Chain A
Amino acid sequence: MNQNINKGEDSSVTVLSFDTSTASLAAAIVRDGVLLDSIVSFTERNHSVRILSEIKELLSRNGLQGKDIDVVAAGQGPGSYTGVRIAVTAAKTLAWAWNKPLLGVSSLEALAFGAWKSLQSADENIDFDTETWIIPLMDARRGQVYTSRYSAGHSDKWDTIDKDGIRLIADWSERIEKEATMDSQVSSIWFVGEIAPHKVAIEQAEQSGIRLRTLTCDMDPGAVGQLAELRFRRGERDDVHSFVPNYTQLAEAEAKLLAASRGE
């Protein structure tokens, strides 16, 4: 069915990508790892209103049609429940209607990846001989964050250390600090993304006084597409029909029912 399934490693790949997990609606065209064009809008609560118009505008101003797209990619969350459903629904429906490969990317990984790129280009004295931890944060209220952990370094090193989850920022930042103390390879640690509500907790976890650093940033519009392209070139594909957001937790009613069935 998917005509591009056997696209070779060397051929050109055009990715249409978007993410609506945060306050920003980020849509982009990425071709062969390079951000061709993007649209970012901060009209939260209006993601569902604007998303298809933004995609249409992005396609038309780059002279592209559905047939020119090789991959449809979306941030799969975590993040706002309603928010992530918008990008996921648009992505699976477009991929199905165009009969194109679909690839989901962790919105947290995209947030971290975008921050890592900007840290590199901002010349933040990164020591590439050692390891840098990038820890993306999205506020999940009541002292909680959606977060994960990546290890970055030389020659495009980019590894997942901890998967996406919802965690208490106080415990999480303390754990990061402790583990970094035991790992001599780690030279710097960056908490990135939605920092403001959690700055105090991060500062309290700090022991050495220099190691835990923060970067407030929004979703990089190209990051979802770039990560999706890497997955695509590795031959990975997601199934359109079973493609759903990664909420990282049960709906409240389900959690209560589960607790009740366990007699809690």
Chain B
Amino acid sequence: MSASNNTANVAKAANAGSLSPNSSYLLLAIETSCDETSVAVVRDGRNVLSNIISSQIDTHRQFGGVVPEIASRKHVESITIIVEEAIREADISLENIDAVAVTQGPGLIGALLVGVVAAKSLSLALDVPLIGTHHIAGHIYANHLIGDIVYPALALVVSGGHTELVLLEQEGKFRIIGRTRDDAVGEAYDKVARALQFPYPGGPYVDKLAQEATEEVVLPRSWLEPDSYDFSFSGLKSAVLAEINRSRMKGESPDFSALARGFQNSVIDVVTVKAMKAAKEFGVKQMLLCGGVAANKGLRERLASLCGDVGLPLLIPTNKLCTDNAAMIAAAADLKWRRGEFSTLDLKAEPILSLEDWSVGS
């Protein structure tokens, strides 16, 4: 295997002959792309035996956001502890693991490195295949842990780092039809939350405040060009800040709950209208909502109601499977396992990694 070639289409080298891709197998997956150290053991790509998530959020909160160097340090402190816990909770022994999957990217490079080096070490020590996995493919395939995906499907990915509309014409083939041009949805939520004086991460507070609000400060919708499925949220965030300033200049105290509702309604209008339009244009048979912001109650309810109106089936993972976790990485890695598409020990952590290029068979 050459050093420059990260992916090798080889028959399962380590256990050749002992397992066919269709028989029952155990996958251990590691996710360390941001501030969660997570390890899961999943049987046959769908049956989650354990999914341990160690959040660093209490550490990062005092800094008002994720500090990459500190995230990397925390991953080193936790990694073997979490692997051991995942094995114990799955009630298996390490020797039963048939393959190791890991988030290769995108994410914070220093954080990704810890997971990638640990996964490669396990792959070598256990002599089992390694599967470098795309983080967003993980978010999308979290849906496969709770239901059957029907193709073509459209995924609306909303998280702290991503806002994308992804078309899946068939299993494991990703086509991005829309993406944010500036802030991700989750990022906009956190910035607005800070302006509304909520602690980091403030997205859930804004959601809750918007739900409870009786008034609404109507804010602009950023539709971009008529035929575009792209998003932009930085103008909306600025509009919130401008409203707060305007109130203060007039000596009034800004109505935070009305602003939260205005912001949330603008975001939800834009993402759901675009998602529904794309679903119609591409004739999809299913809508998939995923990513950390998929836990947003307002968004879930609106999308469910719009899908219900046109009879489009909708899948949304449980809240635990929406946030960063390793079970979703196993669910995506299963696509590669079943096709025998493995990585070499020279797998490289990639802070920027193309989802489309990660598609199966490419």
Residues in chain B near residue A98, CB distance under 8 A: 125
Whether B113 pairs with A82 at a CB distance below 8 angstroms is yes
Is B214 on the interface with A (CB-CB < 8 A)? Answer: no
Is B105 on the interface with A (CB-CB < 8 A)? Answer: no
Whether B118 pairs with A93 at a CB distance below 8 angstroms is yes
Whether A241 pairs with B80 at a CB distance below 8 angstroms is yes
Residues in chain B near residue A48, CB distance under 8 A: 113, 116-117, 348-349
Is B188 on the interface with A (CB-CB < 8 A)? Answer: no
Of A82, A93, A247, A252, the residue contacting B121 (CB under 8 A) is A93
- What per-residue 1/0 map shows which CB atoms of B104-139 lie under 8 Å from chain A? 000001100110111011111110000000000000
The answer to whether A55 and B346 touch (CB under 8 A), given A92-B80, A251-B73, is no
Stretch at the interface among B62-70, B140-148, B222-230: B62-70
Of A51, A242, A251, the residue contacting B117 (CB under 8 A) is A51
Whether A244 pairs with B348 at a CB distance below 8 angstroms is no
The answer to whether A251 and B69 touch (CB under 8 A), given A90-B117, A96-B84, A97-B125, is yes
| Distance of A79 from chain B, by nearest CB (Å) | 14
| Shortest Cβ distance from B60 into A: residue | A253
Of B67, B72, B94, B124, the residue contacting A55 (CB under 8 A) is B124
Determine the main DSSP class of B at the interface with A. Answer: helix
Residues in chain A near residue B126, CB distance under 8 A: 97
Whether A241 pairs with B122 at a CB distance below 8 angstroms is no
| A244→B123 CA distance, assembly (Å) | 21
Q: What is the total number of residues of chain B having a CB less than 8 Å from a CB of chain A?
A: 36
- What per-residue 1/0 map shows which CB atoms of A48-71 lie under 8 Å from chain B? 111111011000000000100000
| Distance of B74 from chain A, by nearest CB (Å) | 10
| Shortest Cβ distance from B117 into A: residue | A89
Residues in chain A near residue B117, CB distance under 8 A: 48, 51-52, 85-86, 89-90, 93
Whether B94 pairs with A253 at a CB distance below 8 angstroms is no
Whether A97 pairs with B114 at a CB distance below 8 angstroms is no
| A252→B83 CA distance, assembly (Å) | 29
CB-CB contacts below 8 Å: B312-350 with A? 344-349
| Shortest Cβ distance from A89 into B: residue | B117
| Distance of B61 from chain A, by nearest CB (Å) | 12
| Shortest Cβ distance from B349 into A: residue | A48
| A66→B120 CA distance, assembly (Å) | 14
Is B310 on the interface with A (CB-CB < 8 A)? Answer: no
Is B249 on the interface with A (CB-CB < 8 A)? Answer: no
Is B77 on the interface with A (CB-CB < 8 A)? Answer: yes
| Shortest Cβ distance from B6 into A: residue | A49
Is A201 on the interface with B (CB-CB < 8 A)? Answer: no
Whether A251 pairs with B67 at a CB distance below 8 angstroms is yes
Is A225 on the interface with B (CB-CB < 8 A)? Answer: no
Residues in chain A near residue B177, CB distance under 8 A: none
Is A145 on the interface with B (CB-CB < 8 A)? Answer: no
Residues in chain A near residue B77, CB distance under 8 A: 242, 244
- What per-residue 1/0 map shows which CB atoms of A26-67 lie under 8 Å from chain B? 000000000000000000000011111101100000000010
| Most chain A CB within a 10 A radius of its CB, from B84, B94, B113, B120 | B120
Is A78 on the interface with B (CB-CB < 8 A)? Answer: no
- What per-residue 1/0 map shows which CB atoms of B37-81 lie under 8 Å from chain A? 000000000000000000000000011000101101100110111
The 10 A-B residue pairs with the shortest CB-CB distance, nearest first, are A97-B125, A93-B121, A52-B120, A251-B69, A89-B117, A253-B67, A52-B345, A93-B118, A53-B345, A96-B80
10 contacts between A and B (CB under 8 A): A48-B117, A66-B125, A86-B113, A89-B113, A90-B121, A93-B80, A94-B121, A97-B126, A247-B73, A252-B69
Known contacts A90-B117, A92-B79, A257-B62; 4 further A-B pairs (Cβ under 8 A): A97-B121, A97-B126, A241-B81, A251-B69
